[in-house]
Amino acid sequence: MNRFTTESAADTVALGHKLARELKGVVLLIGNLGAGKTTLVKGIAEGLGAAREEEVSSPTFTLIHEYGDPPRVYHIDLYRLDTEREVESLGLDDLWATDRLVLIEWGERFPRLMPLPRTEITITAQDDESRIIEWRHLTE
């Protein structure tokens, strides 16, 4: 497992730039509300040249944002969904079969539906505003 500490939102974006070169496939972004998941996505999308940082926002209400033309990054937020059936209705299986990077917030709520292999990035906010960011790749 890789472990990083960021001291600010700008540090988290900068880490996203670095991780962008290493990430592929499906990535679950795990953390409480306000942990910095979307902030990390800003850095990843910008690091891949798919979107500028200010163009990236949480897809809480739209559920899926696409970045790049053609889309190179999909940013998905499952926070507002309650059942596996709701998640299945999104047709995410079609995204698993592409070579696009698929970043999913709150995917850990539906572990049976998340594909392997995948990367899981856990973000833990600290009392001093820093973040501990742990990254691991799962194959089974």
Which strands sit side by side in the sheet containing 2-6, from one edge to the other? Answer: 2-6, 131-138, 118-125, 26-30, 101-105, 73-77, 64-67
pLDDT digits (tens, 9 = 90+) for 32-54: 999 999 999 999 999 999 999 99
Instruction: Assign 33 to helix, strand or coil.
Output: coil
Residue 130 has pLDDT above 90, yes or no: yes
In the chain the domains, ranked by start, together with CATH numbers, are: 2-138 (3.40.50.300)
Of 67, 122, 112, the residue nearest 87 (C-alpha): 112
Mean pLDDT of 93-113: 93
| Side-chain-facing half-sphere of 50: CA atoms under 13 Å | 25
pLDDT exceeds cutoff 90 at 140: no
Q: What is the pLDDT, as a whole number, of residue 123?
A: 97
